[in-house]
A and B are shown apart, each in its own frame.
Chain A
Amino acid sequence: MKLSVWTYEGPPHVGALRVATAMKGLHYVLHAPQGDTYADLLFTMIERRNHRPPVTYTTFQARDLGADTAQLFKTACLAAHDRFRPQAMIVGASCTAELIQDDPGGMAETMGLPVPVIPLDLPSYQRKENFGADETLFQLVRALARPMDRSAHVTCNLIGPTALGFRHRDDITELTALLGDMGIGVNVCAPYGATPQDLTRLGAAHFNVLMYPETGEAACRWMERELGQPYTRTVPIGVGATRDFLGEVAALTGRSLALDESRLRLPWYSASVDSTYLTGKRVFIFGDGTHVASAARIARDEMGFEVAGLGCYNREQARMIRALARDYGVEALITEDYLEVEARIAELAPEMILGTQMERHIGKRLGIPCAVISAPVHVQDFPARYSPQMGIEGANVIFDTWVHPLVMGLEEHLLTMFREDFEFHDDAGASHHGGAATPRVADPAPAPAEAPDTGGEVIWLDEAERELRKVPFFVRGKARRNTETYASERGLTRIGLDTLYDAKAHYAR
């Protein structure tokens, strides 16, 4: 048993739902108790879909337990087929149905439905959402794709984008255009927008583009083995990665690399003097393995940040992330416990966080600017506007998204710097909201610079504490930590002005 308040990933059947909802002409019959239909609202509300997910839940209740649930499953299967007339169906169990052992796959097989029925075996008590999506796509591809002649023109499949995927919708558009510029067409994009019939044509592509390893790697591996289709290893998020990706595509296809950089603005924006203050900013990166790895490269090589720490919540990517962390000289954090993430962030005191919805809230609590780079995300990260992460426009989007919270941070810093100013002090109120400025009341005389002895703990004397408050808020945490380390290493129990500046000089870079 493990106590949990927040989970980065849902159960594996939600992954299967993401594949089913991404596709058309496919129907999912899920053996699940009443209440599991809550997952529908992830799609209708967070992703704002205008149709119900193509899922029939058996919604059994206590009174059905026993032999009845099996009958219920069969009835639901037949009714779903009659009503929706799908090209193929997937069937499976949620965590509760897994315990009652009705075997949806076996039952569906005996029913003789006139379309392919693909059973899913998703171990709910061991695996999670991303595994569910990856496995579902793999089973669909394995059941439907067949070897066939390659298309006359060079084409590829886009593999991995799903419903509820972070920016999957626009990444598809961006990537399709990038490949189009090299004269490469898209054969099938799956599961997003594909039908089961489309999956039978997967074999016509010359190679596969693995967009998201979390949700498409098993299918790509199978197609490499069974259909002889190589797949791309680089995920084109960031300028360097996009170039490497196209290089990989060129090598796979024999075509010359073509990249239209006329709309690419990240390199110049990052080189312009306004960005100088980004240099060496300490960032902490957390999310799914793929987005974290991409973000780390952009952060260090394209934005000039210092990667202070990184990690991921999906164990499937742990090995890759650990290796990456070694490259960056930091310790990897592989966990699905947000309290551990929060503790690590507090310990590292970064100047910026790149993470998920959860890290956004941790950032809010700790007063650290944050930008979202990975699922899980809330409704605001399924935007109406075009905002890919991949390719040329993705790089532009990423530059803006990451810099915005910092620019606001700088504004806040300026306000703090001039806090002692006669017009900008704390009690003045906002000048642009029509409030009349209140004159500043003089600070009371400082308390005697003697603080109680806290026994071993390093304590801050009043003058040093006040000086520390003049340090810009986004480096204040680091300054405090450095000074305390400096003091305790030297056996000092009190921090005065001198200690503060000694430490500053010691850590000057």
Chain B
Amino acid sequence: MTDPAPATGCRDVPVLAERGQHEVFCGLTGIIWLHRKIQDAFFLVVGSRTCAHLLQSAAGVMIFAEPRFGTAILEETDLAGLADAQEELEREVDRLLSRRPDIRQLFLVGSCPSEVIKLDLSRAAERLSARHAPKVRVLNYSGSGIETTFTEGEDACLAAMVPALPDTDRRQLILVGALPDVVEDQALDLLSKLGIEDVAVLPARHADSGLAIGPNTVFALTQPFLGGTLAALERRGARHIPAPFPFGEEGTTAWLTAVAREFGVDQAHFDAVTAAPRARAARAVAQAAEGLRDRSVFFFPDSQLEIPLARFLTRECGMRAIEVGAPYIHRAVVGPELDLLDRGPQLAEGQDVERQLDRCRDARPDLTVCGLGLANPLEAEGLATKWAIELVFTPVHFYEQAGDLAGLFSRPLRRRAALRLEAAE
């Protein structure tokens, strides 16, 4: 296994920790991609009209496609007498399950209002599980803004699934993180070609996938925001394979290398399997990254993907990172990424959006990666932006998507160069 080129590394550089207004999504947003991935699950948010409004605003047109999520909106009466809340919830769940008999897993998702009034959703989940067993399993987790930021909602969801998994002594690999189906299939195919056959995925597409866990299980994360799930898996005796994340040619190779090493795959076989897709990815990245070289990039915090993406953009696309903001930096997870990221960019954890905007305006980056609430205002100030949410929804992992990933960042710059909106001289 060849290790990636040594770098000076960012693992021990001081991080700017800020507290102020956070311009981020809450964890409820994770439902929008999780319900596509887990095909027999329904996500029932217990919250307010704000939660329902957030979901429909973030889900866009998806809301019209009979989605498998909804909000049980708390009303005045629910706040007055807490005793009724459990009964109310049971009634709503009964109605829901009779209307949607295809549902096998029901997630009760906590929100800020339900957390603040201390509505005990775990007890509700237990009672409902008993009531609807064995057909439907009811779990709960919190996607509230007071506890979770954007992709941490997926982390909370997956972590909640882990204790309910059956035991196994099998020597197996679990890939952890919801990926678009096409990407998941590519990953499984690569691993199978490397001779690693007993591979499962968390979250599985269906409840009856046979996913189990035990002391001989090893797991690799495909997403950097899964710190809580990592801890839950370790509590079940499984062992984590630390690795950089499979973004870009280098990231994918490093990730595969870590897994292959765990399973004793020999170097010649590894090279034979990866040579062609590696070359393809490198070519695609080189092509798509044209126009990114020597440009500067500034990351606002959003999804915890910022550090791996900064590593990809600086090392494979030749960009220069000015600031890499992340909502949360989990060192056990992104440590290998920090080792690869050259010293230089300011690492920032948390946010004071006004100060961060000041720094961004001062730095005048060539490209700013930020949320949709900031993107158009910054464009109007003359800064090119890449809206970050797309990076979570679009297939961007592993070799075949490496070119697309670079393309997501180069497109805004190409567009700016293409538009001629001033009057002709």
Contact = CB atoms under 8 A, between A and B. Distances in A.
Contacts of B375: 44
Contacts of B25: 35, 38
B116 A100 contact: yes
A9 B57 CA distance: 11
Contact of B76 (A11, A37, A56, A125): A125
Contacts of A100: 116
A167 interface: no
Most buried by A among B48, B50, B78, B115: B50
Interface in B91-130: 91-92, 95-96, 112-113, 115-117
Interface in B219-272: none
A96 B113 contact: yes
B50 A52 contact: no
B282 to A, nearest CB: 35
Contacts of B117: 99
Given A1-B73, A60-B146, A33 B26 contact: yes
Contact of B49 (A37, A38, A76, A95): A95
B21 A38 contact: no
B74 A36 contact: no
B380 A50 contact: yes
B112 A45 contact: no
A12 B12 CA distance: 46
Contacts of A6: 56, 63
B334 to A, nearest CB: 21
Interface residues of A, number: 53
Nearest to B358: A83
A378 B27 CA distance: 24
B111 to A, nearest CB: 8
Interface string B345-374: 000000000100000000000000001111
Interface in A74-114: 76, 79, 83, 94-96, 99-100
B172 to A, nearest CB: 35
A34 B49 contact: no
A125 B112 CA distance: 14
A3 B21 CA distance: 31
A445 to B, nearest CB: 38
Contacts of B49: 7, 9-11, 95, 124, 128
A96 B112 contact: yes
B280 interface: no
A49 interface: yes
A11 B71 CA distance: 14
A48 interface: yes
Given A33-B144, A44-B377, A126 B116 contact: no
B391 interface: no
Nearest to A72: B19
B92 A3 contact: yes
B21 A57 contact: yes
B146 A7 contact: no
A37 B57 contact: no
Nearest to A124: B48
A5 B375 CA distance: 28
B53 to A, nearest CB: 4
B377 A124 contact: no
Contact of A59 (B22, B73, B95, B115): B22
B113 A95 contact: yes
A65 B50 CA distance: 19
B70 A5 contact: yes
B26 A34 contact: yes
B50 A37 contact: no
Interface residues of B, number: 62
B53 A10 contact: yes
A3 B85 contact: no
A361 B62 CA distance: 11
Given A37-B22, A83-B354, A2 B72 contact: yes
Contacts, number: 173
A94 B372 CA distance: 21
Interface string A372-387: 0000001000000000
B116 A45 contact: no
B10 to A, nearest CB: 26
Contacts of A48: 376
Nearest to A76: B21
A279 B225 CA distance: 60
Given A1-B89, A62-B146, A65-B146, A95 B24 contact: no
A490 interface: no
Contacts of A60: 146
Interface string B66-96: 0101111111101100000100110110011
Contact of B373 (A3, A41, A65): A41
Given A6-B63, A94-B50, A1 B88 contact: yes
Most buried by A among B52, B112, B376, B380: B112
Nearest to B66: A5
Contacts of A124: 48-50
Nearest to A5: B70
A128 B49 CA distance: 8
B28 interface: yes
B389 to A, nearest CB: 9
A14 interface: yes
Contact of B376 (A14, A34, A50, A57): A50
Contacts of A358: 64
A95 B49 CA distance: 8
A136 interface: no
B145 interface: yes
Contact of A42 (B20, B57, B112, B377): B57
Contacts of A378: 61
B72 to A, nearest CB: 5
B95 A1 contact: no
Contacts of A126: 76
B149 interface: yes
B48 A40 contact: no
Given A1-B72, A7-B56, A34-B26, A61 B373 contact: no
Most buried by B among A45, A50, A61, A126: A61
A36 B54 CA distance: 8
A64 B116 CA distance: 12
A51 interface: yes
B67 A5 contact: yes
A4 interface: yes
A52 B373 contact: yes
Given A35-B25, A35-B112, A44-B376, A95 B50 contact: yes
B404 interface: no
Contacts of B115: 62
Nearest to B26: A35
A72 to B, nearest CB: 9
24 contacts: A1-B72, A3-B95, A4-B72, A5-B56, A5-B70, A7-B56, A10-B49, A10-B50, A13-B50, A38-B26, A38-B54, A38-B373, A40-B372, A44-B373, A44-B374, A44-B377, A48-B376, A51-B377, A52-B374, A59-B21, A61-B145, A62-B147, A94-B50, A358-B64
Interface of A: 1-7, 9-11, 13-14, 33-42, 44-45, 48-52, 56-62, 64-65, 76, 79, 83, 94-96, 99-100, 124-126, 128, 358, 361, 378
Given A1-B72, A10-B50, A44-B375, 12 more contacts: A1-B88, A1-B89, A4-B71, A33-B146, A35-B24, A37-B23, A37-B24, A38-B25, A38-B26, A41-B372, A60-B146, A96-B113
